[in-house]
Structure 1
Amino acid sequence: MKKFIALLLPLAVAASFAPATVAQEKTALVPLPSLDDFTKGQDGWALGLGAGVEYESAYEGSDEFGFEADPAGALQWRSGDNIFYFAGEALGWRGLRDDVWLFEATVGFDEGREEADSDDGYLNGMGDSDEGAEFVLQARRAFDADWRYWLDGRVIASEDGNIGIFGVGTRFGEQLDGTGHELSVVAVYHDSDRANKDFGVNAAQAAASGYNQTYIDSGIRSVGLHYNYRTYINDNWLVFVEGLYEHYSSDVRNSPIARGDYEAELGVGFIYMFF
């Protein structure tokens, strides 16, 4: 969180000297509440900064929940059907093609996991996993140009393994500005490297923690629901709500790291758009 703020605040100061374009309409690149677009349909720079509060699992597989404050927003630059963005620890590009294809490429970071993430000591002896780079490639295909229904495929690749996310979703309402409600059904696949990073217990960890040594094959990680809501209070203030529920597969549930059968989170927050 501190790193996000330290990176974004200098950009906010620099961007404040950029020429502003008065928005005549609020047409998002893709009218989906799950995709931030602060450009209001205009080419050039856009900046949104805000904060949110999430009630979420302490770590993946945890049955401990708590509140966490997180920054929100991004610095964006739009040119036609392309948006380049910087959001703290993520640098990426998003592009619309033929009105029904959306492609996205992002370089970001996985924050890793620490023993201290469990207040009840369930991670004692498991050691800490360091933050690492992640590369995200995504493609969405709408059934029509208004993006009422779509298919989604995403790959998250890192040196610690890979995750594939596949889903189908729908949005509600007639807005084209990225506000309204959105709901999607997703299936998450992980390879064996990523599965064992998050839920496996190797020999050294077993000896230190007392857990049984556990190896997890590649396969389905979870199935679940994702919900997003966005609405404007006025021309500059945006309020958002995000919810997630994913039910783990039997292989994951059999891991001693998975204290619960599911992962869930609910977040609310606001963003102020400068341009």
Structure 2
Amino acid sequence: MKKSTGILLAVCLHALFLQTASAQDRKTALVPLPSVNDFTRGDDGWALGLGLAVEYESAYEGSDEFGVEVDPAGAVQWRKGDDIFFFAGEALGWRGLRSDTWLFEAVVGFDEGRQESDSDDGRLDGLGDQDEGAEVALQVRRAFDADWRYWLDGRVVTEDNGNLGLLAVGRRFGDQIDGTGHEIAIAVVFQDSDLANKDFGIDAEQSAASGLNETELSGGFRSIGFNYNYRHYVNENWQLFGEAVYEGYSSDIQDSPITRNDYEAEVGVGFIYVF
């Protein structure tokens, strides 16, 4: 989604709930970043947030078809000091803060794969369905100072069909310490040849079945991405959030017959009730 849409969305949400309680009255989140949800209110023990998200997104990676999807949002969390264990959707993970400026995270989740039916226009016919598979993500964020105004991010994702790496730089806006406000990030993404061909390659059998040219990709640079996050407490329990994501593909990926758009985009809004 284009930058202007994400910014306009955040401005509208902020104006709508301008009269709500100050976020500064709340307890400190593990890190004050809107992109890292924390429902614990700074306390040790169990926390729960449940809600819904409405997303307008690409039908599959490289698609020129877009659709609306409604998904559950929130997580079950357990906090002990500077460590949070969580279950969110199909992901189970841990994150921990060290020395006020280092955030580590490890997550085990699932890749839903791609189905021929993901394209209503039949663009994936003959390419076959991909099975859902497990993936492991390891992440390290380093803040330039304890208020997390600016930060660097490194991430590795490994799954059955390949590996992906990400390097990002981000900035948060506002003085909130409860994980609300605005945040932007710019990322460079790399992948190995196995993952590149899983998402955008076409082998001989798929070529014969689909009529698309056989395509084999090498690993390396995948894309440059932009991410915007917004989070806001309406009152003591209700939280609004928004996100916009844009990923511009490398020239090799753009040349794949699977790639109908030179980018992937998503914008979403939702609400969560924090118990």
Scaled by the length of structure 2, the TM-score of the pair is 0.90
- What stretches of structure 2 of length at least 5 have no aligned partner? 1-24
| Deviation string, structure 1 residues 247-266 (Cα, Å, up to 9, x no partner) | 10000000011100101000
Q: Is 2:166 the counterpart of 1:162? A: no
Scaled by the length of structure 1, the TM-score of the pair is 0.90
Q: Is 2:191 the counterpart of 1:190? A: yes
Match of 1:109 in 2: 110
Q: Could you tell me how far 1:165 is from its partner in structure 2?
A: 1.2
Residue 92 of structure 1 aligns with an amino acid whose one-letter code is G
Mapped to 2, the partners of 1:245 and 1:27 lie a distance apart of 30
Residue correspondence of structure 1 range 96-135 to structure 2 within 5 A: 96-135=97-136
- What stretches of structure 1 of length at least 5 have no aligned partner? 1-23
| Deviation string, structure 1 residues 66-110 (Cα, Å, up to 9, x no partner) | 100011000000000000001121000000000000000000000
Q: Could you tell me how far 1:25 is from its partner in structure 2?
A: 3.6
Q: Could you tell me how far 1:159 is from its partner in structure 2?
A: 1.2
Q: Is 2:225 the counterpart of 1:224? A: yes
Residue 38 of structure 1 aligns with an amino acid whose one-letter code is F
**Quick one: percent identity of the two aligned structures?**
70
The secondary structure found in structure 2 opposite 1:46 is strand
Residue correspondence of structure 1 range 1-275 to structure 2 within 5 A: 25-274=26-275
- Number of positions where the alignment pairs a residue of Structure 1 with one of Structure 2: 251
Mapped to 2, the partners of 1:65 and 1:165 lie a distance apart of 25
The secondary structure found in structure 1 opposite 2:62 is coil
Q: Could you tell me how far 1:26 is from its partner in structure 2?
A: 2.4
Mapped to 2, the partners of 1:55 and 1:177 lie a distance apart of 27
| Deviation string, structure 1 residues 162-219 (Cα, Å, up to 9, x no partner) | 1111100000000010000000000111100000000000010000000110011001
Give every structure 1 segment of 4 or more consecutive aligned residues whose post-TM-superposition deviation is greater than 6 Å. Answer: none
Q: Could you tell me how far 1:27 is from its partner in structure 2?
A: 1.1
Q: Could you tell me how far 1:224 is from its partner in structure 2?
A: 1.8
Mapped to 1, the partners of 2:155 and 2:225 lie a distance apart of 15
* Higher RCO (C-alpha 8 Å, min separation 6): 2
The secondary structure found in structure 2 opposite 1:234 is coil
The secondary structure found in structure 2 opposite 1:139 is strand
Mapped to 2, the partners of 1:183 and 1:257 lie a distance apart of 29
